[in-house]
Amino acid sequence: MEEKIAFIIGIIMFSSFILLFFGLAAGLFLATFRNIRAAIRGKLSSMEPCRSCGNSVSKTAVICPYCGDNFGQINVVANSIIGSFISGVVSVAGGLLLILGFMEFLRDW
Ligand SMILES: [Zn+2]
């Protein structure tokens, strides 16, 4: 009886941690896509006139959305793209390790 309860608790713990890791990974990949979009379009805050066409363009924009002029400011945003992408990959790896541990746990019973 007590063993069965421990088994059920184990399954619940593993499932919730696996879901947590994959949820985190999904959020991080979503953040990666948002960062990529922000890198191309620029965030709406802190606008600056484009040096080529004079339209208001975000300071973080890499390319002017009006004339396509390249500002060459990709480094800061690219770092956060890579950072969120790597964190996402690490979370997926953690989730997969948990699944392996879960299978081990199920085999022991
Ligand atoms: Zn422009």
Distance 55 CA to ligand 1 centre (A): 6
Please tell me the distance between residue 57's alpha carbon and the centre of ligand 1 in angstroms: 7
Considering the entire predicted model, what is its pTM? Answer: 0.61
Domain of 76, in residue numbers:
2-108
Total number of domains constituting the chain: 1
Please give the Cα distance from 9 to 42 (Å, whole number).
47
- DSSP state, 39? H
Per DSSP (E only), the strands in the chain are 47-49, 56-58
**What pLDDT digit, counting tens, does each position of 55-77 carry?**
888 777 778 889 988 776 555 55
pLDDT at res. 19 = 95
Q: What is the Å distance from ligand 1's center to 11 Cα?
A: 56
d(CA 47, CA 68): 16
Looking up tokens 């989730």, which residue turns up? 95
> Distance, CA 30 to ligand 1 centroid (Å)?
28
Distance 43 CA to ligand 1 centre (A): 15
